Amino acid sequence: MTADRGHEGRPAPEFFTPGSSSFAQFLAAHRPGLLPTRAPFPDGVRAAPDAFPHGTTVLALAYRDGVLIAGDRRATMGHLIAQRDLEKVHPADDHTAVAFAGTVGLALDMVKLYQVELTHFEKVEGIPMTLGAKARRLATMIRQNLGQAMQGLAVVPLLAGYDLAAPEGARGRIFSFDVAGGLYEKAPFHAEGSGSPYARGALKKLFRPDMSRREAALTALQALYDAADDDSATGGPDIGRRIFPIVSVITEEGFERLPEAETEALSREMVAHRSRRPDGPHATP
């Protein structure tokens, strides 16, 4: 945010006015035009379904050491592939990550605002938000986007975090949202986006609560592969271009995106396995 300068280069008076610890509320009061939730069209106007890039499938699952969150890389505009290497998974803070399906431009702005929101709260209050409060704060931001969603520009995030205050074995938590800001905790896995029914089916088949990081990452990649196999808007591993899904984990040590080399090796291993068994691995008895 660019601050207006007062006399002698001092920030504008609103920066010295007591208020809440919400940066989004601060913008709403003093710079509402900077909010990504402002309505882009007049009332009654709806966006054409193929006019803006849309992100598709993202998922999260709990595993032995925490929680994993992943997403494919494709963005589509109707029947066109608008982007092949979109990043849909982003850290929100040290122990929280957000992924998104929906309108790409609005989603990226919402993610940036959410990152600032969490940082602003911690600087003002001196302590980080609890994970439940982070989920409720994101739900509020989505609810403020309802006008855009009704005009065809919906954003559907998926939130995953490591809850340091939760009991041992239950610290990896997942939250989903609807376009009206409804908040739902999902355990032990969930997926969003156009390929999510197929990804959830694969996760239901393959999930085990005691998985290692490697096993969890392979399970996520298998689920995204199944989604891409049945949903044209979801992109699978692109071996030729070396574009692979983004896989990140959140543990007690914090957020970590799996290195590109690790994700590529796991993806190639999975594709080789699929060449022998195209329907993928069977459920563990």
Residues in the chain, total: 285
Residue 56 known to be catalytic:
yes
Alpha-carbon distance of 35 to 48, in angstroms, equals: 22
Among candidate residues 195, 197, 177, the one with its CA nearest the CA of residue 186: 177
Catalytic choice (56, 57, 251, 263)? 56
Q: Both tokens of residue 179?
A: 């376009």
Cβ proximity of 100 and 55 under 8 Å = yes
Residues 6+ away with beta carbon under 8 Å from 81: 74, 75, 235
Residues involved in catalysis: 56
